[in-house]
Structure 1
Amino acid sequence: MRTASAYALLALWIAVYVYLALHAARVFDVLVYSESKLMPKNVEPNIVNNIINNGSKSNSSSNFIFIVIYGPNLSHKLSLINKTLVEEGYNVTSPLTIQYIAQKIYWLKINTILNNYTNKFFNYLNTIYNSTKDNCIKLRELKEAYEAAKRNATALLYATYGAALLNYSTPQTAKFLQYYRNLSKTYGVDAAVRLAADEAYGNVSWLLEGITWRDWAAESSIDLVAERILSARLNSSLIQLARNVTELGVEKYLYLQLASRLPLALRPYIPYVLCVNETGAATDIFRESLLRNLTSEYPPPTMYTIPQAEQLLYGDLYALAIAEGTGVPKLNYSWAVPVSTGILMSQFTEIVTSEVPDIDKTTAIVMLAILLLVFGTLIAPLVVLAEVGLSYLALLGLIYLISPYMPPYYLSVYIAAPVVFALGIDYNLLLLGRYAEERNKGAEPAKAVSAAVGFGKRAVLTSAAVAGLALGSFGFSILPFMQTIGLALALSVILVLATSFTATPALMTVMGDRLFWPRKIEEIRLHEGRSKLLGRSVDFALKYSKILLILFVIITLILIIFIINNIRITTNPISAMPETKNKEALRIAQTYFRNVTALSTTYLVFTRSPNNTVLGYITEIPYYTNYTIFTKGKYYIISLKLSLTSTSDELIYIYDNLTKLRKYGLLYIGGDAGWKHIYYTYIYLYFWHFQLYIILLSVILALMVALRSVMTPLRLVATVLMSMVWGLALNIALFQIVGGQLTYWLQPVVLTTLLVAVGTDYDVFIVSRIREEVERGLDDRSAIRTAIVTTGPIVTGAALILALAFLSIVQSQLTVLQQIGATVAFSAIFDAYIVRPLLVPAIMNLLAKYNWWPSKLHERPR
């Protein structure tokens, strides 16, 4: 390549990639985080959505948010929550609102009872008052008459006996005393008194009949005289009544008359209506007493005694509030935490958005450090990192530009970064390493560039073809969001490949040995000391080939059994999230409030009205909360609410259980269980039952064409899969058994794809060099040793770069990315540092001439 052409090519590369890179930042505005938004229209859940929405999108944006409130003092905290949510425009259901409603109903009933009984009581007392009012007047008259008679009787006795015996003389008694003194000379005291009384007071002696001077002052004598006075106008019954009323009092007499005929509870209130009208005061006292009795026997309901409210309480530890509205309420997360799949997935989005730049920075810093270590110089690492970094930014820009035609799924960006950095640095390292090697052999710079590019055409193109086929295999999925991952990864390979065959050769042509400044080209040996160690490893592998192969196979088989027996797959992305307050609140809601937390909705579309058998079966479904039935056109639709998040693993089993209803007219299953079935079937099962074989077959065929061999591609794929088994076993031991984390379902899928795609790099580099040495005339053993010793340092450096590129995503808070990063990193290190220097030469040594079959390479004269 001439210098002018190199400048032109470099300028063109920079212009195109910078243009694309200028759009990189916008890609985060178009990322799609919900798989359901990238789905074919003809899948079952989408068909259900079209039926429900009549082919149009629903305008309702209101949803239910469950809020876990932490105790103690739940009543106070619920009061604060209710006030906050109402002010923000939410409709709230909580133990306290249920208590408010129940107490409102309670007091309504209590007041109804009070009003009814007090009205009856008031009327009853009023009746008593009205019925006794006349009697009271008559009895008062009798009492007054009797009391007047007693006063007159007393006056008479004192005016007679008193005056006579006490010699008590007054103007009124003077005449009586005169008569008495005269008569007492002839008659006894009693006769003289009566005779004198008649003379002095008129005919009154009959009133004193039976009275003697001994008992004249006794009360009985007064009563007797009084009754004789009353007898002039009253009969004996009235006189007795008057006497009784006078002794008891009018009110008491009437009370005794009424008490025996009235209920015991009403007797205390009779005095309020006897001869006085205090019915109102009596009614107030009765009402207060009745209220005390009612509330004592039937206490007001509290949130701890109302069955509906008790469902939203777990002792004084937790309470659940249900808010209906839009958005996310502002809460004090120290004691009130919202629970919803939407909120959790929103946090998932925030984590992705915030972490990508940090992870990319970490990746770049780590890459630079490793490149400085590998090259032992300054310019080459900076140039390589600048190339790869610009390639990554260009990829993001390109994804953004094509987003109107294929919206990118968020994992595209996450996975693409380490792929670009790993492949880009690997290819640059291989080309620059070969340039330095040729220059140290005495080749001119132009010929060294030509040799590096020539070798790269075989190794890099083969590697890129394999990587592109494996990574692009996601495009075989029928699901658009998986297709976007495949497209992004395929574009990653294309952009890296374009960089490797444009910018890198142009820079080598333009800068030449100055790429390795401040060191001289003669000093660039790419860790020559490590070649000696690799040489000893290869010699050991060639000497003990059978033992090594048997040992690796036995261990791999053991690890396969370990994986089968221990792997626990989860399809729930929430399980991959860090332990946040929202995730803890979700666990509390599903543990203690399972019967009321309707976190997901599954739709069942029937061709005929569901019968009782269907409805009974639905209510027995695990995690059942409630259901409603409605019609849309000719369809009957059951909206089934479950206490599962829309991402829960259990929805897979719910879907399987619901399919048993197809014999009752069930046509489609939509909603959350339908989507979960789609994800699981068309991603996980599809990968292991179909896509994996497409990947392996396409990779093997590509390698067969590139290497013109049958056995070597098979051996290459087998050893990569062996590294994958070791990596997956470590992942299960480290994250699942020790860390207690389930293996996220996409992890084995992504891991297998990435390792097959990227893990073949090193083998392709080595095998390409082995073939080159064989073509130069070396026998297989010598070619194997020479290739591994010369390319080994580059391969191990590239593996370290790949490992660290993926290890950088371990800093993510998402478990799935931690698992992918750690497992790919370990598998890459294991593959490059163990498998390539030991197992690969051992197998190739045992295969000998069959390494290149059916080509005649091994038959060429040495």
Structure 2
Amino acid sequence: MFRAIGRFAVHRPWLTIAGWLIAAVALAMLAPGLKSTTDETEFLPSHYESVQAGKLQENAFPKTEQPSAIAVFQRADGGKLTTADRADVARIAAGLQDKHREGIAKVATSPQAVSPNGEIALANIVAEKDKGKNPADETVPNAVKDLREDAKPLLKETRLKMGITGQAATALDSRESSGDTDAMIMMATLVLIVVLLLVIFRSPLIALMPVLIIAVVFMVALGLIGTAADLGGLKADNSISAILIVVLFGVGTDYILFLLFRYREELRAGTQPKEALVNSVARVGETIASAAGAVIVAFLALLLSTMGMMRAMGPSLAISVAVTLVAALTLVPAVFSLLGTKAFWPSKAWKKRPRTRLADGLGSLVARRPGVIAALSAAVLAVLAVGTFSFKAEFDTDSSLSSKLESVQAMKDLQRGFSAGQSDPAMVYVQSKSGAPLDKGALDTYKTKLEGVDGVGSATLTTTNPQGTVAQYSVVLKYRPTEDKAIELAGGPLRDAAHSTAPEGTKALVGGTSAVLSDVEKAVTHDYKLVFPVAGLAIMIILGLLLRSLVAPVYLMVSVALGFTATLGATVWLFQDLQHKHGLLFMLPVIVYLFVVAIGTDYNILMVARLREEVRRGVPAREAVRTAVARSTPTIASAAVILAGTFGVLMLADNSMLQQMGFAVAFGILLTAFVMAMLLVPTITSLLGHKAWWPGHQDAPRVAPPAHPSAPAWAETQEARR
């Protein structure tokens, strides 16, 4: 099948390329865009309490105003606010209100908005009803940016300074601080790909061609994802485009390198260019398809997630990898069919086999000492994996932001005078079960009970609905809304107290950011226990189909699991132990799973497929291992360095979450490539020998080897094959 696909693409290159270009342009013009959202409640199933609380709030209090941001005022000298200072706060708030910025309903303060210690004053920045609901809408954050500028002339000739914090301000600062990071990642990715391909192939055409090909693939993939999302009603996280770029560059470069290295090998054996391309597709097509299949099923396993964000991400990434697979088997051969050997210009190195001393030496070492290499490799991974037991999930994403950002500094200033949860209180709703009006005396008593919960700063009965059947309490916690203590409090003691002390004949629901994050934590824990095993089983099935073996997939997945835990353990040691971070990004295991386990499995598949190919030729086991490692090492090393380098750039960001993600993925990819694929997998295969392919007969030689492999005839045959 793969030979037929390769023959069609190679001998009808213009038709193939035209088909891709037409598809890319048509999808870019006609496909609907992605419907993005970052509202956590839209990503949780309806049975979670925070989601139910949100729906009750929308139905009972559709006009309730909640501040999207808070202006924090203080004296420049840090002293207590005077009467004149308080008058200036009121004047500045009125001046900001008079600007009528789009998306802002009002900017308001009051004499009560002064801290008990008299040092801090607040002004609530309330968003218009429809603008404050969806954080993906940039209207309110952009208005906050304008208000910061509007405040500067108003603050002149006063002794005050002002900073804006809260959800919208944090979203603005996070977006602007990550903008430079996104550009840096893209530039670093392009530079790495171009430079490394120039070093490997010494050809400007080959260095630039993958970038152009992946650009076309990206247009097609994004169009198909938008269409699928529109037809299926899916919602994608607003960062899906950035993730797609990384996935496509990583996976696309891998598959292109798999094909180009084999193409060059065929040319060196004397095969004509077009036939060499056809042979390359025929020989590595199954490997690429299997590698892509493993990544696709791993991504599709995210459909089992309870979180809508992950369920939306899974199909999107799966579609992008599927498009990349088709491009690798059709578009890439078609392009290089037109270029022929000119693709390697001006280098002549493709005509002769280079002296790859490191790769050959590694192949010989692995073949001679498989037991020692396997033991050392496994020991290194096991030692690193120990750190996994100390892993602590961190849901406080705000803590990863630079302390230099205005929203972060203003939050610290706010906490000098108020409870940390003042900017985003927990919300408790009490609803009558019978539909009868709530008892006002019972509601006042309930307020007192909520304030008695350890960790609660204050509780206020803010409003009841017109029918008097639903009451809303604003519960200010002593901790920041995204802090671990706030999340634990909202999902534990506060929720327990709200339920147990609710007035008779009513039910209570706890919502707000802290409660949402508590439910997200529960959902993530559930997903880890379900998604990972299912994905592992699916990858094992694909490996079994590729290798026609029941044994090889087992030790391959064991090594993958060991690599996963080693990656996570090393990250724990670096950030939690050495840098004394409170915890690691709660999504980190999923990120490592997506980019290290799923994509990194490509390298194991490439190595084992080459081992199988050598064994089926009738090559003795030790020689098969030596050849497979020597021939696969340049491909694997090049692909791994490009992918790891792309993520490694994240470590330069001024954001600890991005630094953790960058290190974990970069280190995991390198660990997968240089320890697992090059050392552990081939040595275990060598030690198992015939048993590795049971119950198949993949090691049955198609060409009978000579009685004495060391004889000249055998050496000449091997050299000819190279």
Q: TM-score range by the shorter chain?
A: 0.7 to 0.9
In the alignment, structure 1 residue 792 sits paired with structure 2 residue 624: no
Distance in 2 separating the partners of 1:468 and 1:502: 19
Q: 1:746 to 1:493 in 2, by over 3 A?
A: same
Equivalent residue in structure 1 for 2:615, among 757, 767, 774? 774
Conserved 8 A contact 1:541-1:842: yes
In the alignment, structure 1 residue 88 sits paired with structure 2 residue 96: yes
Equivalent residue in structure 2 for 1:583, among 402, 408, 419? 408
Map Cα deviations across residues 699-737 of structure 1 (whole Å, 9 max, x no partner): 111111122122222222222333333332332333334
Map Cα deviations across residues 292-320 of structure 1 (whole Å, 9 max, x no partner): xxxxxxxxxxxxxxxx9552535xxxx23
Larger Rg: 1
Equivalent residue in structure 2 for 1:628, among 449, 461, 464? 461
Matches within 5 A, 1:200-211: none
Partner of 2:482: 647
Conserved 8 A contact 2:547-2:609: yes
The one-letter code sitting in structure 1 at the alignment partner of 2:491 is Y
Equivalent residue in structure 1 for 2:336, among 482, 501, 508? 508
Matches within 5 A, 1:778-857: 778-857=619-698
Conserved 8 A contact 1:596-1:625: no
**3-state SS, counterpart of residue 422 of structure 2:** coil
Q: 1:403 to 1:312 in 2, by over 3 A?
A: farther
Map Cα deviations across residues 307-346 of structure 1 (whole Å, 9 max, x no partner): x9552535xxxx2323353453333499311121232023
Q: 1:488 to 1:626 in 2, by over 3 A?
A: same
The one-letter code sitting in structure 1 at the alignment partner of 2:450 is I
Distance in 1 separating the partners of 2:425 and 2:555: 48
Q: 1:484 to 1:364 in 2, by over 3 A?
A: same
Distance in 2 separating the partners of 1:464 and 1:386: 20
Partner of 1:460: 288
In the alignment, structure 1 residue 437 sits paired with structure 2 residue 269: no
Conserved 8 A contact 2:166-2:423: no
Map Cα deviations across residues 532-563 of structure 1 (whole Å, 9 max, x no partner): 32332233334443344333444434333333
Map Cα deviations across residues 479-512 of structure 1 (whole Å, 9 max, x no partner): 3222221122112201211211121111232222
Q: 1:563 to 1:624 in 2, by over 3 A?
A: same
Partner of 1:381: 207
Partner of 1:365: 191
Partner of 2:133: none
Distance in 2 separating the partners of 1:802 and 1:322: 47
Partner of 1:216: none
Matches within 5 A, 1:63-102: 63=68, 65-69=70-74, 71-72=76-77, 74-75=81-82, 78-89=86-97, 92-93=108-109, 97=111
Q: 1:737 to 1:575 in 2, by over 3 A?
A: same
Map Cα deviations across residues 54-112 of structure 1 (whole Å, 9 max, x no partner): 27954747556251535316546655433211122256446xx45xxxxxxxxxxxxxx
Bigger shift: residues 479-488 or 349-358: 349-358
Q: 1:396 to 1:309 in 2, by over 3 A?
A: same
Distance in 2 separating the partners of 1:520 and 1:309: 76
Conserved 8 A contact 2:24-2:216: yes
Partner of 1:556: 381
The one-letter code sitting in structure 1 at the alignment partner of 2:452 is E
Bigger shift: residues 656-665 or 709-718: 656-665
Q: 1:535 to 1:514 in 2, by over 3 A?
A: same
Conserved 8 A contact 2:24-2:217: yes
In the alignment, structure 1 residue 5 sits paired with structure 2 residue 18: no
Partner of 1:320: 121
Conserved 8 A contact 2:616-2:700: no
The one-letter code sitting in structure 2 at the alignment partner of 1:748 is P
Structure 1 position 786, deviation (Å): 0.9
Distance in 2 separating the partners of 1:711 and 1:568: 34
Structure 1 position 349, deviation (Å): 3.3
The one-letter code sitting in structure 2 at the alignment partner of 1:853 is W
Conserved 8 A contact 1:468-1:490: yes
Map Cα deviations across residues 435-465 of structure 1 (whole Å, 9 max, x no partner): 1101111112232112111122211001000
The one-letter code sitting in structure 2 at the alignment partner of 1:313 is G
Q: 1:406 to 1:670 in 2, by over 3 A?
A: same
Distance in 2 separating the partners of 1:59 and 1:23: 39
Count how many residue pairs are aligned between Structure 1 and Structure 2: 640
Map Cα deviations across residues 801-836 of structure 1 (whole Å, 9 max, x no partner): 111222234444443232222221122122222333
Partner of 2:297: 469
Conserved 8 A contact 2:69-2:164: no
Q: CA RMSD in A?
A: 3.1
Conserved 8 A contact 2:596-2:672: no
Map Cα deviations across residues 717-773 of structure 1 (whole Å, 9 max, x no partner): 222333333332332333334444431101122112221111111111111111111
Distance in 1 separating the partners of 2:614 and 2:420: 71
Partner of 1:725: 565
Equivalent residue in structure 2 for 1:618, among 425, 428, 450? 450
Matches within 5 A, 1:229-248: none
The one-letter code sitting in structure 2 at the alignment partner of 1:648 is E
Q: What is the TM-score normalised by the length of structure 1?
A: 0.68
Distance in 2 separating the partners of 1:378 and 1:747: 37
Matches within 5 A, 1:276-675: 309=114, 311-314=116-119, 319-326=120-127, 328=144, 329-330=147-148, 331-332=151-152, 335-352=161-178, 355-401=181-227, 404=230, 405-520=233-348, 522-523=350-351, 525=353, 528-530=354-356, 532-565=357-390, 567-579=391-403, 580-590=405-415, 592-594=417-419, 597-607=422-432, 615-621=447-453, 622-628=455-461, 631=464, 636-643=470-477, 644-649=479-484, 650-661=486-497, 662-664=499-501, 666-675=507-516
In the alignment, structure 1 residue 46 sits paired with structure 2 residue 51: yes
Structure 1 position 419, deviation (Å): 1.1
Distance in 1 separating the partners of 2:562 and 2:512: 40
Conserved 8 A contact 2:248-2:321: yes
In the alignment, structure 1 residue 710 sits paired with structure 2 residue 550: yes
Distance in 2 separating the partners of 1:396 and 1:426: 20
**3-state SS, counterpart of residue 343 of structure 1:** helix
Conserved 8 A contact 2:189-2:646: yes
Q: What is the TM-score normalised by the length of structure 2?
A: 0.81
Conserved 8 A contact 2:540-2:553: yes
**Greater percentage in helix:** 1
Gapped regions of structure 2 (runs ≥ 5): 1-6, 98-105, 128-142, 706-722
**3-state SS, counterpart of residue 475 of structure 2:** strand
